[in-house]
Chains A and B, each alone.
Chain A
């Protein structure tokens, strides 16, 4: 306002000129060639081609499977990788200078893992490198060591690192598996509770009984197992410390004591008791032994499982006629039914991310494992087998193990969480059932 008329005029003129230029430029920009934009909205619905080159060895390696073979098997089991058979490899490099990316490109591989094992006394050292073939870059390079008797753990560690580097998710190849086997000879039945590597190897018997053992459940720290044992003639919940073999009875009430499930803090167990007359869900504080009744219905309420946040509880109830999955927002809250459309849905197991819940689902006279998207409520069947039971989700939410029948025998099968790939664990003696996937131990 302090401008003289003359200078305010000048300003206005300047502004108009600028505006004019702006319009011109805008028009020019829009008239100018708009850059092409191509959108890719889906990828190959296939496993990533990866080559694990047999590691070079210096020194005598312990007997047993080769490290690179174990890594290959691990990555294959995940369902996310397509491993190149070593006989197809054009060369067998063990370090970068020996890697000719063009060769691997020709073979259509995306990643190449090379390495060298060195034995020194009772120790084996592994130097391993992972390369991105197209970017011709090393994306992982480490050394790790283990005792010669623990070479499998070393291999699983390498599998974890490779998996993490490529997918960004934690690997689960160093986790443990708990399961029950049954062998019968004549009228004799022997039940065994076993713990093994995730690939079924190095299994150790933790309990042997002539009476059924059911429902193994890992404590969150991976040090204990809770399970149901009929050794006293009725179902009783035991807690078994793996390192020491020490056992305590957690629940031995009249009637059922079953379906134990650990809280995320390891301080309490959800369980199914029928001491009040019919199967209901209780929460027991392990330190005090005090129980709190969470359901109150004449129907069967069982198979409780905490959600990923440790806040709400999924469980099975047949209060609507047949078994269905219900959810209570907090312990003791009014349950909400989740499953419809099939007359049998049981044994809910949520993943650790809160994305999906997996359960047994009847469809056309057989039982599959289905998963439900907790946000969209979409349900899809993820197993191609039938007579499926006991789903257990991997700690990274990417795989599922369950028991099924193969040639009339009970076996364990691992599938990728979307049901893409299936991998049956090597058949062991007798029947295998009730797998429980152990936690990632850090």
Chain B
């Protein structure tokens, strides 16, 4: 993985992948986006939100008439009344305004809705118109195509007719030919029939030959099979014989082993200091005659007198009893190991 990581990055500055160019492009892009963003960020004009304006209800300043004292109360009352009326009127006005506003709102709402509806209608109509237009277009197209197809068809038919005509001509010619051919064919057939006969005859012969061949082959196969079977049987017999020989060799070898063991036991004088822990191992090589070719001490008992007694025993046998069968001899007695290890019966 690291190897890939170690791949060096190209440093060609003229390529499009140059960092400077990239940087510039990036800045331009940002700029473009920003500008585009401007136009983009112009949503549908929403009406300015009307907050509950706390309008200052400021009584309109009325010219203050001269007032008598007498009329002061009355004037007061009237003023109050006026004020009340004004207030009332104001209230009403406010109410009216409110209502008006409300109505306006509603009207606006309505207008909006109507507009919306209109819009929708418009759109629908647009769409409809579009659809119509499309349909028309399609129809036109279809018509065009149809016309095309028709034209093509007509053409084809024409061509077909032409072909047919030509074919007819050809056929006629062919028929003529045929007639002539027929004649020829008849002759031919006759000839062929004759040939056929000959061929059949030949075929029969061939088949006969084939059959005989097949027979032969079958026979041969049978022969082979038989041979194979015989072979198999023979092999089995041989294997059995080999096993028997093996077994014989084994029993032979065991027999001769026992003989050798007996002879060596009789010929071995272990020193009186020998213990059951002492083991001397000797490797023996014999000649087919049973004579000792060589003896080597491969594992000492640790006691020289003991080792020497083992060597003496092995060397004291002039001829080792070995099987006459050469295979048995080679297999078991050409080279073997003798282990001397006294086991006291006391």
Asked if B271 and A168 make an inter-chain contact with CB atoms under 8 angstroms apart, the answer reads: yes
Instruction: List B residues 311-346 near A (Cβ within 8 Å).
Output: 311-316, 318, 331-333, 335-343, 345-346
0 or 1 for each of A29-62: is its CB under 8 Å from B? (1 = yes): 0000101111111111011100000000000000
A378 within 8 A of B: yes
| Chain B residues whose C-beta falls within 8 Å of the C-beta of A168 in the assembled complex | 271, 273, 303-306
| Chain B residues whose C-beta falls within 8 Å of the C-beta of A36 in the assembled complex | 253, 257, 332-333, 336-337
A-B pairs under 8 A by CB, number: 100
B267 within 8 A of A: yes
| Chain B residues whose C-beta falls within 8 Å of the C-beta of A166 in the assembled complex | 271, 305
B194-202, B213-221, B258-266: which lies at the interface:
B258-266
Asked if A42 and B343 make an inter-chain contact with CB atoms under 8 angstroms apart, the answer reads: yes
Docked Cα-Cα span, A398 to B272, in Å, equals 8
A416 within 8 A of B: yes
Interface residues of A (CB under 8 A from B): 33, 35-44, 46-48, 80, 105, 110, 132-135, 139, 166-169, 378, 380, 398, 416-418
12 A-B pairs whose Cβ atoms sit less than 8 Å apart in the complex: A37-B336, A38-B264, A39-B338, A40-B338, A42-B265, A110-B269, A132-B308, A134-B311, A134-B314, A167-B272, A398-B272, A418-B272
Report whether over half of chain A's contact residues are helix, strand or loop; otherwise say mixed: loop
Instruction: List B residues 95-149 near A (Cβ within 8 Å).
Output: none
Interface size, chain B (Cβ < 8 Å): 41
A373 (CB) vs chain B CBs: closest residue = B346
| Chain A residues whose C-beta falls within 8 Å of the C-beta of B261 in the assembled complex | 38-40
Q: What's the minimum C-beta distance from B201 to chain A, rounded to whole angstroms?
A: 66
Asked if B315 and A38 make an inter-chain contact with CB atoms under 8 angstroms apart, the answer reads: no
| Chain B residues whose C-beta falls within 8 Å of the C-beta of A40 in the assembled complex | 261, 264-265, 268, 313, 338-341
Asked if B343 and A135 make an inter-chain contact with CB atoms under 8 angstroms apart, the answer reads: no
Which residue of the partner chain, among A39, A47, A135, contacts B311 with CB atoms under 8 Å? Answer: A135
Which residue of the partner chain, among B267, B304, B338, contacts A38 with CB atoms under 8 Å? Answer: B338
Asked if A41 and B342 make an inter-chain contact with CB atoms under 8 angstroms apart, the answer reads: yes
| Chain A residues whose C-beta falls within 8 Å of the C-beta of B269 in the assembled complex | 43-44, 46-48, 110
Which residue of the partner chain, among B264, B303, B313, B337, contacts A37 with CB atoms under 8 Å? Answer: B337
Known: A37-B336, A40-B268. A134 touches B303 (CB 8 A): no
A sample of 17 more A-B contacts (CB under 8 A), given A38-B338, A44-B268, A167-B271, is A35-B337, A36-B332, A36-B333, A37-B337, A39-B261, A40-B341, A41-B342, A43-B268, A46-B269, A110-B269, A132-B312, A166-B305, A168-B273, A169-B271, A378-B346, A417-B272, A418-B272
0 or 1 for each of B270-293: is its CB under 8 Å from A? (1 = yes): 111100000000000000000000
